[in-house]
Structure formats: C-alpha cells, structure tokens
C-alpha cells in the first residue's frame, strides 16, 4: 500500500502539469507498471480536448509490454465517449490486470461506471489511495460537478494588522517580489480573475490572464486605455439600467443591482453559464467583504509590517458584526513562506 501511495503522489505531480489548461475537465496523472512492478510509462491530461492521462500513458507503449501490469491514476477512468474514447476500454484492451485509483469521478456520467466496466472485465480495482489529496487537487472540478456552480477563490495581501493600503491608498508594495511571483502562479490555476472598477482606477493593474471579469457598476473605468483591458477576454458586469459603450472586444453584461451594488450571486451564476468554472478575485476591502459569502478559498499573503492607523484600508470591509457567533468561520489549510512574507490558505466552513 505504501508503494501505491508513492506512485499516487507522482500521479498528482504529473496531473499538476496540466494546471490551468484542463478546465472544465479535471487534472489527472497516470503511471503504468509492468507485471514485474517497473514503471514503463507516465502520462497526464495536458489540455481540455487532448488525450486523458490514461490514454496518454498507454499509447506510449504497446499492449504486449503493458499486459498483466498495473495502472495507477488519481481519478477513476472514464467509461463514456466524450472528446476522446473511454479510457476504461483502452485499459481493458491493453490487458492491464490491476488499476489503482485515488478517487471516484464525481461526474454522474462516470461515477462508479468506469470501475464497474473494469471489474466486469476481470480487472482488480484498488480505490481510495491518497483520496484526500486527490480531492484537493480537483476541488474546482468537484464543486462544478456536485454543486453546478463556479468555484470562487479570493487573494489578498495585508500587513499584520490586516491593512491592504494606507489611508491615502498607498499599497506598493506590501508584499515581496517572491510573494507577487506566487500570485502570478496562482492566477494560472483559475479560469478567470475578477476585480473591481475601484481597483482599476486606484492601481491601473494589468493582471495578465486569458479571462478577466470586471465589476464596473457605473461604467466609470477607461475602457480604451486602462492596462487591464489591453489583453484577455474581458467580461464587464454593469448596472442593467445603463447603456454600455460599443467596444467589440469587451463583453458587457447587464446586471441587476441590490442597494446600489451589483448582485454578486447573479455574477457568479452568470460566470458558470458562460463557461467560467473558477474565479480568483483580487480586489479591495469592500468587494472582498461582499464576496465572502460566496468564497470557497482564500489565499492570504501576510507581510511582517504594521501600519497602525485605523483610517487605513482593511482587507475585508463588510457588514458590521456585533456577536462572535455571527462571524464567518474558516479552516486553516496550509502555510507557505515567501521570504519575508507568508501565505496562509484557508477554506470557509459550513455552519
């Protein structure tokens, strides 16, 4: 069993090579052992529409070499025709005798059916190897499939006293170059980044990404000159009672408002409908606060600095809480160091 865990760790690392490219599909890695237990092939799902990990690994070898061997994969092999044929069929064709799986596929088309097809063919299936790690790897895919919604993450960078900028809006740079480099890596994991008109006007960020979601209720940003509009697929959510400018490269989406604020729930549901399976929000304290009820995960960069000014801008500026029992509770998941800063990762807990 320990040997399977070691190989499953490798599968997960292989899967991560497709990070940011496989959506709406999961990230999957695969290792094939011959009947003597030697690694004879590796593969991973590189991009949506490309070969799945099992197919990628098996097609690098012949059935003669693989016959009687073991295939290890972090997600249950598919059993249906999609953009590629069923992986379970190819595994059977190659004469594999044992398949070791991290987790069952949560896609209802596949869930359990891939395993049944394998066992019906006389293949031994071992399940649940590093299942927690396998589930964490594909937390976005699981949310999409089980809850039929977009996974929302939020990134913020603060001082030790929770400030994202001074009272005059100065924020460059709270965190170090290594921390900012990590932010660019995190962005690549998500289908889109989200920010507000206030952040665009204050910082004029570029936020390089293939998809960008801008919340600009009153259409006050400079759509022709602001850095953020110079690249990527742009989706601008605005007050549905206004008339947007005619700019061919920008998708303006009329949005209902609640108390003169854009309806966040509408925005997230609309993102899912247009095929955005995950969002990383990078914005100011007010929008951070508004997003908290819809946020699954937070990346919190913490710099060893203290502003010590109650007029400085806070990371989360939402509703007033008078009782501790009314707070939103989170669970710490991980801590990483990006000298001299740290990054805390935490998830919202369900009450």
Which residue ranges does the chain devote to CATH 3.40.140.10?
2-145
Reading the block at residue 79, the tokens are 């059993």
Residue span(s) of the chain under CATH 3.40.430.10 come to 149-348
Q: What distance lies between CA 167 and its chain's CA centroid?
A: 32
**Structure-token pair, residue 58:** 């098996």
Cβ contacts of 49 within 8 Å, gap of 6 or more: 83
pLDDT at 346: 96
Q: Please identify which residue in the block is written with the tokens 């508004």.
A: 290
Q: Is 344 helix (H, G, I), strand (E, B) or coil?
A: strand
Domain 149-348 has CATH 3.40.430.10: yes
Listed residue (345, 332, 342, 316) closest to 160, CA to CA:
342
Q: Please report the pLDDT score of residue 1 as a whole number.
A: 63
pLDDT tens digits for range 114-148:
999 999 999 999 999 999 999 999 999 999 999 99
Tell me if 114 sits within 8 A of 105, measured CB to CB.
yes
Could you give phi then psi for residue 202, rounded to 5 degrees?
A: -75, -40
Quick one: pLDDT at residue 321? 82
Q: How far is CA 219 from CA 30, 120, 233, 240, in A?
A: 47, 59, 17, 11
Q: Which two tokens stand for residue 54?
A: 């099992």
Q: Give the fold, CATH level 3, of 2-145.
A: Cytidine Deaminase; domain 2 (3.40.140)
d(CA 71, CA 54): 8
- 29: tokens are 């890695």
Task: List active site positions.
Answer: 54
Query: Could you give the 3-state DSSP secondary structure of residue 270?
Result: helix
Predicted structure pTM score? 0.92
Q: Is 338 helix (H, G, I), strand (E, B) or coil?
A: strand
How far apart CA 96 and CA 67 sit, in angstroms, is 5
CA-based R_g, the chain, Å: 23
Q: What is the dihedral of CA 227, 231, 233, 235, to 10 degrees?
A: 10
Which residue in 268, 212, 270, 259 sits closest to 236, CA to CA? Answer: 212
> What separation in angstroms does the CA of 197 have from each of 164, 194, 205, 266, 337?
17, 10, 11, 18, 31
Q: What is the DSSP letter of 110?
A: T
Task: Show the low-confidence residues of the chain (pLDDT under 70).
Answer: 1, 81-83, 351
Q: Is 127 helix (H, G, I), strand (E, B) or coil?
A: coil
Among 93, 10, 5, 95, smallest CA distance to 53 is for: 10
């Amino acid at each position: 069993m320990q040997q399977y865990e070691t190989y499953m760790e490798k599968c997960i690392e292989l899967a991560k090579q497709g990070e940011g490219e496989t959506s709406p599909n999961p990230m999957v890695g695969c290792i094939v052992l011959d009947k003597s237990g030697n690694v004879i092939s590796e593969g991973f799902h590189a991009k949506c529409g490309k070969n799945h990990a099992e197919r990628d690994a098996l097609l690098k070898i012949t059935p003669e070499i693989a016959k009687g061997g073991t295939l290890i994969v972090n997600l249950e092999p598919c059993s249906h025709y999609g953009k590629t044929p069923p992986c379970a069929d190819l595994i059977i064709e190659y004469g594999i005798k044992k398949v070791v799986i991290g987790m069952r596929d949560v896609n209802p088309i596949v869930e359990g059916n891939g395993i049944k097809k394998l066992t019906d063919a006389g293949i031994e299936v071992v399940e649940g190897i590093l299942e927690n790690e396998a589930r964490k790897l594909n937390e976005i895919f699981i949310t999409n499939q089980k809850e039929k919604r977009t996974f929302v993450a939020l990134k913020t960078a603060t001082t030790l006293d929770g400030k994202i900028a001074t009272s005059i809006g100065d924020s460059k740079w709270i965190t170090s170059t290594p921390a900012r480099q990590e932010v660019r890596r995190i962005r690549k994991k998500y289908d889109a980044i989200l920010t507000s008109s206030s952040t665009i006007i204050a910082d004029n960020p570029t936020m390089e990404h293939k998809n960008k979601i801008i919340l600009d209720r009153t259409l006050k940003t400079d759509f022709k000159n602001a850095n953020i509009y110079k690249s990527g697929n742009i989706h601008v959510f605005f007050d549905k009672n206004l008339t947007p400018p005619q700019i061919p490269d920008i998708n303006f989406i009329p949005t209902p408002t609640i108390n003169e604020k854009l309806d966040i729930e509408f925005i997230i549901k609309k993102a899912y409908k247009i095929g955005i399976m995950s969002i990383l929000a990078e914005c100011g304290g007010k929008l951070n606060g508004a997003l908290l009820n819809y946020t699954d995960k937070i990346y919190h960069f913490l710099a060893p600095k203290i502003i010590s000014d109650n007029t400085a801008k806070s990371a989360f500026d939402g509703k007033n809480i008078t009782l501790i029992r009314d707070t939103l509770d989170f669970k710490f998941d991980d801590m990483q160091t990006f000298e001299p800063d740290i990054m805390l990762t935490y998830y919202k807990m369900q009450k």
